[in-house]
Structure 1
Amino acid sequence: MLGLSHRIGLLLLSVVFSITACAVQTPAVPGAVSDTYFGMHLHRAVVPQPWLPDGERLTPWPEAKFGSWRLWDAYVAWPNLEPQKGKWQFATLDKYVAMAQLAGVEVLLPLGLSPPWASARPSETSSYKPGNAAEPRDIEDWRNYVRTVATRYKGRIRAYEIWNEPNLKGFYTGTPEKLLELSRVAYETLKAVDPAITIVSPAVTGDGRHPEWLDHYLALGGGQYADVIAYHFYVPRQAPEAMLPVIAKVQHIMRKHNQDHKPLWNTETGWRIANKTITQRIGAAGENWSNLDDAQAAAYVARALVLGWAAGVQRFYWYAWDNVDMGLIDPADKSLKPAGAAYGRVREWMLGATFAGCNEDGSLWVCTLIRADGKPARIVWRTGGEALWQVPAAWQALTLETLAGDVRTFDGQQVVMLGQFPVLVR
């Protein structure tokens, strides 16, 4: 399926590589991998997208299992819920919450985007409709919005995120100081409704070139109004390994402002993935994004999920299951892409496991974990092209499993062809 399983049985007499001193190493991560680590976005679970052909507008519930669901670009932002002052429209969000409860997944609802009627600058351009990126003109409108939503979904929506990507003008044109005020009011209001609610900081985005926004926001005192720090670890033209220095930068900023005791969530990440027939539209289809083929996308999804947890990220929300640019299913026929299958496979490998860290030597990556059954295992891949690899005898490995689900039993020969696709050795 992924072009690897038919090769792993090859035993050649040429030079093979093995593990030596490590150039990069992530520390052990306390605690087992939880189901909520595996997050997702869905665009068309309830609201159809009219530009798609009839019969293709709604998305069936994903085949790949996940434990948390972020409702962004899902038609439930403030302008959708309260298009006119005091006129509430909860039908779509009601359906989402019911679906989440049925599937046993936790909901994360981003708060924000100002309706034109509440916007401080209602005619200002945004990535959505005019006025959406401005802060609300009257803080009491914001307070009422937060209170109304939190009260309606008390005990059912467990986490709220304060605004999406405020460092980008298409999403937010106010000042960090104004967002600090919005965060304070939201925090106080949410905790008054339900102290158990988890409040997530404004989710800054960038490949590491823009950490100063988060640095400034936390310097203002933003951390006191968040239980979790959020970041969007996009590296659109790079491999997943490029996330690691970005994560390290964010963690440094958290330590600098005494926020490193709080969880770090990656509330949005994805890569542009080619489709069978429908051409990508806007945004991620821009020239600043790579366009991954099926094989590369499967490898990237798998490695990103493994490395995110190994680096200390406690949630990882893929953007998005049914996105036409970055989807894990094909938008034309809703068939599962290899990247979607890889998401599900790696979840099976990781769920309930404890990570002892990842080691990198050149192009070889080895992530060591103790699985839920108490037995050690390693997730292994190469970033520099395929090469033969000698499985260390000290591992006492019995089997190797590919992303395609193929399992090879070792019979004394432990030399395999290894490439960009992670394999599970145990």
Structure 2
Amino acid sequence: MPRRRPAGFVAALLLAAVGLIDGPSAAAAPPANGAGGAAGAEWSPFGIGACHINGRSANDLARWMPQMAAIDLAVYRTPNTNWGSVEPEPGVWHWETLDAQIDYLERRGFQYGALLIGNPRWNEADLPGHLPSNNVEGWSNYVTRLATHLKGHVRRYEVWNEPPNFTGKDQTPADYAKLVVAAYDAVKAVDPDAQIGLAAKSAHVNYLEQTILAGAKDHFDFIVLHPYEALDGVAENAGTEAVFMNVVPVVRRMLAARNPAKVDVPIIYTELGVNAENKGADVQAHALVKAYVMGIASGVECVQWFEGRDGDSGPMGLLDRNGIARPAYTALATLIEHLGQLPRPLGWVLLNDRHHAFLFKGADGPVLAAWGDAGVQDEYDFGREAPVVDPLTGHVTPQRSLALTTAPVLVLDVPEALIEQAKLNRDEAFPWGGNDAGSPAEYAAANEVFLEFGEEAVERGLHTRSAAGLAEAVVTYGGSARAGNVPGGNVFIVDPHFLSYDPTPIEITVEVRRNPENVNSGFKLVYESPEGFKTAGGWYTVPDNQQWHTKTWRIDDPQFVNYWGFNFILESDGDVYNKYLIRRVSVRKLDR
């Protein structure tokens, strides 16, 4: 099958590369309402964002936006709508910089939202970096003026960036709720059809819940999250795809409990990315493909990759600091080409009952995105030749059998048997996969999940973040155990179908022993609760290395939502006290 690029790809990319796509034109005011279809059309799930220095002005956008347009990206997170930028002095409004950005974006066909954020220097009662909850009247006026200026251009306004990040040390969800309510009322008074987004850092569903309970109930129209940590586990091949796929369901469970009228609101990831230097450029590209595939499959309306070009937030870009494309850039171009601007998820399947595959209605028919588990060599036989696309290069190769690795591929002309199997699973709960033998239904009904370390670890609904490293067991004392200092080996995740969001009382039990050198060791158990991470009890010192020791904690207020990509951790002080071995860990539900 011949390689087909998005419309205008080659010409636009060449022009961008040699600087022939012109920069922004001057604009005293936004173009006529609806220019570029910015406010009304349905958003594609393929979006992009920028850090501060790549998004301050139209000139900033001109350094990297041509390459984004060249691969048919058409959704941008936000122009510069910071309160201090548009109202640098009380009652003095400067729109020129924002209008130039709007002109630049709309002339190139980009849709965009707006970020309501900022605490101007002149608002002296609060320090910069705080929510301006001391001046709700001023905040409301800023939102009103901005919404009036952007009416017909913006329909989505997200309130703040990653709360409780960038808020005062002592500020609470109640402070944030005040700003959400004020913003909702102000925007709706200007444009009843516009929408307000309730936001939280990472996948901090606990914070969203507290904000709703503190007064934001019914004062939002969509949810904004930045689940970097959930994606990190996938990027590290920790086998945590089920954690990423559970972000949307756990938000919906929380909304059903706390704000039923909003249970079906759109969910948008306005930031999501992977560090290309820490994890590697190819790994970043693999993670990007998986992020968009699983995001769309789980019902996320738009994923806005962070970011287009490296700036002030590290090497996260599709382009490096010099504007050179990384493999992630080609990977995103390939996804857009084959899935189309508005792909429709059709279902999922586990290839050979183990490996992840997601089916979509793509640009020219069904497309299957697939990848394998880490540390497992396996092949899937299609039964006939099928075109297989490498997203990192765009190359298409006819293959009868697919070698399943952690590198994702796209399968075109999908065999009918796979299509039917995926469609049957469409409304089924997504399983953990890997070597976890239980089904979602089994774990939903289970009273206990556990993990036993050995020559081959036995995972029954309980997992660590170390994935394939589980095989690196420490064989000693006549049996197998796991060193407490193996990276990720002390970080635990329960199957989300066993326990996720619901505050069911539990017991966590560990069997531990000091290492053969009998070094003084210990830890504290830290777990997710409605208030964030908490310590259960105090410090536990492992008594000795003469026998296995059992320690049990009763926890009455767990609220496992994986907002940092895990549920509980055995936390030692650096590398000083982690010289212990783990044989077994279990989590058991208790009767209330």
TM bracket, shorter-chain basis: 0.7 to 0.9
Identity, in percent, stands at 25
Correspondence for 1:18: none
Q: Cα offset for 1:327?
A: 1.0
Contact 1:183 / 1:225 at 8 angstroms: preserved in 2? yes
Q: Report which stretch shifted further, 414-423 or 153-162.
A: 414-423
Contact 1:298 / 1:421 at 8 angstroms: preserved in 2? no
Of 79, 85, 104 in structure 1, the residue corresponding to residue 84 of structure 2 is: 79
RMSD between aligned residues: 2.8
Correspondence for 2:75: 68
SS at match of 1:148: helix
Counterpart Cα distance in 1 of 2:179 and 2:129 = 15
Q: Report which stretch shifted further, 213-222 or 361-370.
A: 361-370
Counterpart Cα distance in 2 of 1:163 and 1:420 = 35
- Scaled by the length of structure 2, the TM-score of the pair is 0.55
1:267 corresponds to 2:281: no
Aligned length: 353
Partner deviation per Cα, 1:190-222 (whole Å, 9 max, x = no partner): 111112212211x2012x5x4211111123342
Q: Which amino acid aligns with 1:244?
A: M
Q: Cα offset for 1:85?
A: 1.0
Correspondence for 2:253: 252
1:318 corresponds to 2:318: no
Residues 106 and 299 of structure 1: is their aligned pair in 2 closer, same or farther, counting only changes over 3 Å? same
Counterpart Cα distance in 1 of 2:327 and 2:290 = 14
Correspondence for 1:147: 144
Counterpart Cα distance in 1 of 2:139 and 2:220 = 17
Contact 2:330 / 2:394 at 8 angstroms: preserved in 1? no
Partner deviation per Cα, 1:121-159 (whole Å, 9 max, x = no partner): 23xxxxxxxx23232422221111011111112101221
Superposed counterparts of 1:363-402, under 5 Å = 364-373=355-364, 375-385=365-375, 387-393=377-383, 398-402=386-390
Superposed counterparts of 1:12-411, under 5 Å = 36-43=44-51, 44=53, 47=56, 58-61=63-66, 62=68, 63-71=70-78, 75-118=80-123, 120-122=125-127, 131-170=128-167, 174-201=171-198, 203-206=199-202, 208=203, 210-235=204-229, 237-239=232-234, 241=241, 242-257=243-258, 258=260, 259-274=262-277, 291-324=278-311, 325=314, 326-331=316-321, 333-351=322-340, 352-360=342-350, 364-373=355-364, 375-385=365-375, 387-393=377-383, 398-403=386-391, 404-410=393-399
Correspondence for 2:555: none
Counterpart Cα distance in 2 of 1:179 and 1:238 = 29
Q: Cα offset for 1:397?
A: 5.4
Unaligned runs of 5+ in 2: 1-41, 236-240, 414-592
Contact 2:200 / 2:226 at 8 angstroms: preserved in 1? yes
Counterpart Cα distance in 2 of 1:303 and 1:173 = 37
Contact 1:165 / 1:172 at 8 angstroms: preserved in 2? no
Residues 244 and 171 of structure 1: is their aligned pair in 2 closer, same or farther, counting only changes over 3 Å? farther
Counterpart Cα distance in 1 of 2:48 and 2:382 = 36
Counterpart Cα distance in 1 of 2:284 and 2:83 = 33
Unaligned runs of 5+ in 1: 1-33, 50-54, 123-130, 275-290
Q: Which has the higher strand share?
A: 2
Q: Cα offset for 1:308?
A: 0.5
Counterpart Cα distance in 1 of 2:337 and 2:347 = 18
Counterpart Cα distance in 2 of 1:323 and 1:218 = 35
Larger Rg: 2
Residues 170 and 46 of structure 1: is their aligned pair in 2 closer, same or farther, counting only changes over 3 Å? closer
Residues 120 and 317 of structure 1: is their aligned pair in 2 closer, same or farther, counting only changes over 3 Å? farther
Q: Report which stretch shifted further, 181-190 or 242-251.
A: 242-251
Counterpart Cα distance in 1 of 2:279 and 2:330 = 15
Partner deviation per Cα, 1:98-128 (whole Å, 9 max, x = no partner): 1221122221111022112225423xxxxxx
Counterpart Cα distance in 2 of 1:269 and 1:46 = 17
SS at match of 2:233: coil
Counterpart Cα distance in 2 of 1:199 and 1:169 = 19
Partner deviation per Cα, 1:235-282 (whole Å, 9 max, x = no partner): 1642152422333322321222212221111121111112xxxxxxxx
Correspondence for 2:410: 424
Counterpart Cα distance in 1 of 2:62 and 2:95 = 21
Counterpart Cα distance in 2 of 1:172 and 1:321 = 31
Correspondence for 2:17: none
Q: Report which stretch shifted further, 361-370 or 81-90.
A: 361-370
Counterpart Cα distance in 2 of 1:106 and 1:174 = 33
Residues 136 and 88 of structure 1: is their aligned pair in 2 closer, same or farther, counting only changes over 3 Å? farther
Residues 226 and 85 of structure 1: is their aligned pair in 2 closer, same or farther, counting only changes over 3 Å? same
